Amino acid sequence: MASSAAQGRGRKPAGLLRLLALAAGLCAVLPSAAESQDVEQSAYRAAESAYNAALRARDLERDLLDDALDEVTESRQSGDQARYERALAIYQEQARELEQSNRDLDDAAGQLEQARRSYLSSLLDELDELVEELPQAPDARGRDLIGRRIALLNDAADRLERPIEINDDPFPEINIDPGDTRDEIRAKADLLERYARRYDLLLLDIDAQIDLLEQRQRHARMVRDFGADLSRFGDLRVPVGPDATSDNAEDLIGSEELPQRLEELQQSREFVIERRDIARLRAEEFRQRIGGEHTA
């Protein structure tokens, strides 16, 4: 993301030119960067619609399966063998339909997540550019235009952030019981390793969220420093968004919440690492009990 901002140095401030064009009503000459972001936004909206459609389809198939199961139960109780066999065949077919719907929903969720990350990345790329262009604005009007765009992009980024959900239930009791066979111990070790791999994936999400918030905190520091420079020259008019001005430049990025959110994510990260390590250690102990065999 930082590379986009670096490329913006040494050339005309594209973000400022874009904002001035918007203010003048020259929508037909928007730069390609804005057009690219429009593409990302459209792709995200399309993926969101596809996911919602897949979710509705899955819920419908689930309802139909419940109805089919009711018919299986009633037909069995009725003693009508032919009716029971028909109901059972319908139930089995409906179960296959639900399984396919679940796969379709998983695919749609993956596409939505990919589109969300691409769109969010494009927003943060432009934020990088605009925050660096802010000191280059020729006057307070130019700063206001950039500030309005920054506020809009931050609002959009806030809506795109996906909360990290951590299951803080007690770690499941997975122990070697007296009488467990080698296969049963091996299965428990593999289960613990699967838990560890899930925690690894969760850590990737947490680290990505931390990177995002650290980038926005970096934006806040840059805007704050710029506001401090202005104040030394007697200009306290630092933009904070549409129809508002303030001498508190951090309002522009909403940085007051960032340290708390980062702290919460760091605590979650430590919690997940602890659980992952416990799961992996116990899995290894189980395998040592059966000679180090591993099938997961």
CA distance 177 to 192: 15
Give the pLDDT of residue 285. Answer: 92
Same structural domain, 152 and 66: yes
In order along its 296 residues, the chain shows pLDDT tens digits of 444 433 443 434 444 444 444 343 333 333 445 566 788 889 999 999 999 999 999 999 999 999 999 999 999 999 999 999 999 999 999 999 999 999 999 899 889 988 988 888 888 888 888 877 877 878 878 878 887 888 788 788 878 877 777 777 767 788 888 888 888 899 999 999 988 998 998 898 888 888 888 887 777 777 766 665 555 544 444 444 444 344 444 444 455 577 888 888 899 999 999 999 999 999 999 999 988 655 44
Residue 173: its pLDDT value, please?
83
What does the pLDDT read at residue 229? 57
Instruction: Based on the fold, state whether residues 136 and 45 are members of the same structural domain.
Output: yes
Per-residue model confidence (pLDDT) at position 2: 40
pLDDT at 230: 57
Domain co-membership, 155 together with 216: no
Query: How many domains does the chain divide into?
Result: 2
Q: Which of 162, 178, 209 represents a domain boundary (last residue)?
A: 162
pLDDT of residue 47: 93
Are both 203 and 72 inside the same structural domain? no
- Give me the pLDDT at residue 236, please: 44
Q: Are residues 280 and 195 in the same domain?
A: yes
Residue 12 sits in the same domain as residue 124 = yes
Q: Tell me the C-alpha to C-alpha distance, in Å, between residue 281 and each of 170, 287, 288.
A: 17, 10, 11
For residue 278, the enclosing domain spans 169-296
Residue 50: the pLDDT is: 95
On whether both 91 and 21 belong to a single domain, the answer is yes
Residue 34 contacts residue 16 (beta carbons within 8 Å) = no
